[in-house]
Amino acid sequence: MASWASVAKASAQPVVAAQDVNSSTENLRLLVVDANAIIGGLKLEGIADRAVTIPEVFAEIRDKQSRQFLSTLPYKLQLLEPTEDSVTAVTRFARETGDIAVLSSVDLKLLALAHTLEVAAHGTDH
C-alpha cells in the first residue's frame, strides 16, 4: 500500500485506450473519486472494481485525518488525466447549463475525466 506522499507525487497517466467500464450487476467497474469522498471518510470498499482520480484531488487532501484515511484504503487510487477534448466539452456544457459559476477547476477536470473514460468505453454516439 502506497503512502499518501508517494501517491501525491506520482505522475498521472493519460487515458489513451478504451477501458472496460461497463456496469456489472454486483459492482461498478470504475469509480471516479472526488476529494469530498476522502475528506468525508466515505466507505468506498466494494463499490467498484477500480477507483481513479486526478492529481488535483490529492492537493485538496490537507488534513491529517483525511491523509490517514487515504493511506489506509485497501486499494490503489489510480491517478489519471482527462483528454483536452473532454475538458473542452465539459467546460462548454457547464457554460451552457449555467453550472460554470459553481464548479471549480478541479470539479471541471474531474468531470472531464469521467467524460474521457465514458468516451473511451462507449464513444459519443449514445
Residue 55 CA to residue 25 CA, distance in Å, equals 30
Q: What pLDDT was estimated at residue 47?
A: 87
Task: Examine residue 126 and state whether it is found in any structural domain, yes or no.
Answer: no
- The string of pLDDT tens digits covering residues 14-35 is 554 444 444 444 567 899 999 9
Residue 54 · residue 116 · CB < 8 Å: no
Domain count, the chain: 1
pLDDT higher than threshold 90 for residue 114: yes
Q: What pLDDT was estimated at residue 17?
A: 43
Task: Examine residue 93 and state whether it is found in any structural domain, yes or no.
Answer: yes
Task: Examine residue 33 and state whether it is found in any structural domain, yes or no.
Answer: yes
**Domain CATH code at residue 69:** 3.40.50.1010
What is the percentage of the chain residues whose pLDDT exceeds 90? 56
Q: Quick check: helix, strand or coil at residue 49?
A: strand
pTM here is: 0.76
